[in-house]
Amino acid sequence: MTEKRNLSFGQLFNLSFGFFGVQIAYALQSANISRIFATLGADPHQLSFFWVLPPLMGMIVQPLIGILSDKTWLGTFFGRRKFYLLIGALIAVAVMVLLPNAGNFTFEQRILLGLNSAMWFGLFSLMFLDTSINIAMQPFKMMVGDMVNEEQKGLAYSIQSFLCNAGSLAGYIFPILFTWLGIQNTAPEGVIPDSVKWSFYVGAGILLLCVLYTFLAVKEMNPQEYAEFHGLNKKKEETVEQGPSNTKHIVRTFVTVGLVQFFCWAAFLFMWAYSNGAIATLCFGWWKGNSTASLAYQNAGNWVGVCFAVQAVGSMLWALLIPVLERRFGNKWAYAISLLVGALGFISTIGFAWIPCDFIHDQYQYILLISYALIGAAWAAMLALPFTIITNAISGSKYMGTLLGLFNCTICLPQIVAALVGGLILDLWYGFQEGMLITAGILLILGAVSVIFIKEKK
pLDDT of residue 450: 95
Tens of pLDDT, residue by residue over 106-136, are 655 566 656 777 888 888 888 888 888 888 8
350 exposure class (CB count in 10 Å sphere: 0-12, 13-18, 19+): middle
pLDDT of residue 226: 77
pLDDT of residue 390: 83
Tens of pLDDT, residue by residue over 265-316, are 999 999 988 998 889 888 887 776 666 667 888 888 889 889 998 998 998 8
**239-273: burial string, b at 16+ Cβ within 10 Å, e else:** eeeeeeebeebbeebbebbbbbbbbbbbbbbbbbb
Region 334-343: mean pLDDT is: 96
Going from N- to C-terminal start, the domains of the chain cover 9-453
Region 428-453: mean pLDDT is: 93
pLDDT of residue 292: 67
Tens of pLDDT, residue by residue over 43-77, are 776 677 777 777 787 778 877 887 888 788 887 78
Tens of pLDDT, residue by residue over 15-49, are 889 989 999 998 898 888 888 888 887 777 667 77
DSSP letter assigned to residue 452: G
Helices (H), 148-290: 150-180, 194-217, 223-229, 236-283
Res. 101: pLDDT tops 70: yes
Res. 347: pLDDT tops 80: yes
How does the average pLDDT of the chain come out, rounded?
A: 83
Res. 239: pLDDT tops 60: no
- Residues 248 and 242: their CA atoms lie apart, in Å, by 11
Tens of pLDDT, residue by residue over 355-412, are 887 777 778 889 999 999 999 999 989 988 887 788 777 766 666 667 777 787 888 8
pLDDT of residue 398: 61
pLDDT of residue 158: 77
**Residue 118 in contact with residue 40, Cβ under 8 Å?**
yes
H helix and E strand count, the chain: 17, 0
Helical (H) or strand (E) element with 334: helix 331-351
- CA pseudo-torsion sign 252, 256, 262, 268: negative
pLDDT band at 446 (very low <50, low <70, confident <90, very high): very high
Give the closest residue to 28 by CA, choosing from 190, 183, 191, 176. 176
Res. 237: pLDDT tops 50: no
pLDDT of residue 369: 94
Res. 252: pLDDT tops 80: yes
Q: What is the CATH number of domain 9-453?
A: 1.20.1250.20
